[in-house]
Amino acid sequence: MKPTDEQTKELWEWCGCQIVEIRETSHLNSKLKIVFPDGITFFVDSLLQLVDLNNLFQYAVLKLDMPVMLSTFNGETEVILPSYFPDAEDLMSEPLSVTDKDPALALFWAIYKVLSQQLFLKLFSFFPMIGFFPAVSHKF
């Protein structure tokens, strides 16, 4: 399954990329300008065009800062990430595994799942925790 424009934008922004919508008809009619953290700039019609193994390893896996294992069997690539979340070690007891025919998409979805989990943890970190719900007092 291919990610949406919003999902690819979320991942690249998490990597520190700047994304600018181009309104002029320049740069071979590209719609977007993306500047990676190291200054490399691309002009593309869709952020999905930049979802390849080179870019994902150079920017997303580097930012992820955890081991990544890829294996291919019968035309499917499996990406495995260890069960490691620095802020909540007990969330996953098994490694995260994602499979896709496209190795870049398998890696994208594995990283995106970790990113989504990290954002979830940040969102709820300010609540007094009882499970993942804010404490509520009731008068009986």
Give 72-92 pLDDT, tens digit per residue: 999 999 998 875 555 545 554
**What does the pLDDT look like over 100-135, one tens digit per residue?**
999 999 999 999 988 887 755 554 555 545 454 444
Q: Is residue 129 part of a domain?
A: no
Residues 134 and 110: their CA atoms lie apart, in Å, by 29
Instruction: Please give the pLDDT value at position 139.
Output: 46
Structural domains counted in the chain: 1
The CATH number covering residue 105 comes to: 3.30.2120
Q: Is 108 exposed, middle or buried (0-12, 13-18, 19+ CB in 10 A)?
A: buried
Question: Residue 19 is encoded by which pair of tokens?
Answer: 């994304």
Q: Is residue 68 part of a domain?
A: yes
Instruction: Please give the pLDDT value at position 93.
Output: 52
Asked whether residue 45 carries a pLDDT value surpassing 60, the answer given is yes
For helices 103-124 and 5-14, angle between their N-to-C axes, nearest 10 degrees: 70
Question: Residue 58 is encoded by which pair of tokens?
Answer: 């150079």
Q: Is residue 137 part of a domain?
A: no
Q: Is residue 50 part of a domain?
A: yes
Domain containing 32 equals 5-124
Q: Is residue 134 part of a domain?
A: no
Residue 123: HSE in the Cβ half-sphere, 13 Å Cα cutoff: 8
Q: Is residue 31 part of a domain?
A: yes
Q: Is residue 101 part of a domain?
A: yes
